């Protein structure tokens, strides 16, 4: 069965090590809570995982953002129909929500190409 990847990106302000008591453990706990939230929001997902980006600059280490990915069946017909409709709309005519969904789909295509090699 084919699987499509839908990327949900959530930007977190900045979590500095100085503000955390357990350092990395606190960050992992925070991300685990976000993952649990998305598991409830998308019960049909096959898998949900977290990817985070840590900026290291001298002694100032902080997480700038994290990405949560969900895997769902590629034959999700409602989603596919919406995407086909969005592909036909010119960029300037898309609403902000439609543009976000379009960008999400382009990310999915890029990931699909990257991981199918």
pLDDT, tens digit, for every residue of 97-108?
Answer: 777 777 777 777
pLDDT for the residue 41: 73
Which positions ≥6 away from 57 have C-beta within 8 Å?
A: none
The radius of gyration computed from the CA coordinates of the chain, to the nearest angstrom, equals 17
- Is residue 65 left, alpha or beta, with left meaning phi > 0 and alpha meaning psi from -120 to 50? beta
Give DSSP secondary structure letters for 26-93: HHHHHHHHHHHHHHHH-TT-SEEEEEEEEEEETTEEEEEEEEEEEEEETT-HHHHHHHHHHHHS-GGG
Assess whether pLDDT exceeds 70 at residue 2: no
What ranges do the domains of the chain cover?
A: 1-73, 76-117
Is the pLDDT confidence value at 70 over 70? Answer: no
For the chain, percent of residues with pLDDT exceeding 90: 0
């Amino acid at each position: 069965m084919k699987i499509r990847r839908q990327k949900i990106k959530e930007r977190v302000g900045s979590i500095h090590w100085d503000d955390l008591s357990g350092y990395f453990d606190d960050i992992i706990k925070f991300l685990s809570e976000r993952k649990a939230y998305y598991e409830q929001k998308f019960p049909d997902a096959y898998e949900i995982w977290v990817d985070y980006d840590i900026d290291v600059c001298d002694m100032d280490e902080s997480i700038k953002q994290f990405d949560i990915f969900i895997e769902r069946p590629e034959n999700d017909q409602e989603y596919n129909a919406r995407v086909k409709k969005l592909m036909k709309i010119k960029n300037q005519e898309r609403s902000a929500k439609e543009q976000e969904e379009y960008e999400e789909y382009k990310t999915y295509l890029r990931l699909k190409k990257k991981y199918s090699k």
